[in-house]
Amino acid sequence: MSNPNPPPSSEEALQPASATEIPPPPEDESDADASTGGGPTLWRPEYVRFAQQLCEQGATDQEVADVLRISRRTLYYWLVRHPELRDAMRLGKDAPDDRVERAYYQRAVGYDIDVEKCFQYQGAPVKVRSREHIPADPGAAHNWLCNRRPDKWRKRQELTGPEGGPIELKSSIEFVDAADEPGTVSE
């Protein structure tokens, strides 16, 4: 049986909540970008709001470019040419980044969660609310510390010689004549 409500495509899922449609690019030549020698630019000031909303939903630069129907290279060009777009996207990315940071921190230290479980008691469904503890993840804690306190927790070690000095490497090569070795055949 087919699903009557299939999941949205990645482009549909990333549509700005308040947008029903992204404005089409301009049709006339009056919006041409003479400085690049190219044809008409696809830039629209409305894209600032759309891009910020997409970034607030966690969209990557590539996903923003896909929804705006431009290349990532064009998006990066616009970020240089239109500081309002750059600022809006940076601001839009802050909220999801903060959320992920909080979630990662909680995973590193552990947390409690309210749960509701359903059981069957004497033939009738019963809902039971309880609180469960999600233990800390040592790997997440280690990564957190490596990033936040690299001087104490960095993954690489610096090796030093005696009294903190440089390590002295000594090597020697000894050449041996094969004819002098027992069991060898000389020509």
Which band of pLDDT confidence, cut at 50, 70 and 90, is reported for residue 167?
confident
What one-character DSSP code corresponds to residue 134?
A: E
User: For the chain, how many structural domains are there in total?
Assistant: 1
Place of tokens 């230290």: 109
> Is residue 32 a part of any domain in this protein?
yes
Provide the terminal-to-terminal Cα distance of the chain, rounded to the nearest Å: 83
> Is residue 186 a part of any domain in this protein?
no
> Is residue 166 a part of any domain in this protein?
no
- Residue 153 is predicted with a pLDDT of 80
Tens of pLDDT, residue by residue over 55-94, are 999 999 999 999 999 999 999 999 999 999 999 999 999 9
pTM, whole model, 2 decimals?
0.52
- Among 45-54, 135-144, 149-158, 171-180, top mean pLDDT goes to 45-54
> Is residue 112 a part of any domain in this protein?
no
Bridge partners (DSSP) of residue 113 are 132
| CB neighbourhood size of 33 (10 A) | 14
> DSSP letters along 47-86, please?
HHHHHHHHHHTT--HHHHHHHHTS-HHHHHHHHHH-HHHH
> Is residue 160 a part of any domain in this protein?
no
Residue (of 139, 133, 96) closest to 113 by Cα position: 133
- Residue 176 is predicted with a pLDDT of 73
- Among 6-15, 116-125, 137-146, top mean pLDDT goes to 116-125
> Is residue 127 a part of any domain in this protein?
no
- Residue 161 is predicted with a pLDDT of 80
Bridge partners (DSSP) of residue 112 are 133
Tens of pLDDT, residue by residue over 112-133, are 999 999 999 999 999 999 999 9
Instruction: Print the domain residue range for 71.
Output: 10-107
> Is residue 33 a part of any domain in this protein?
yes
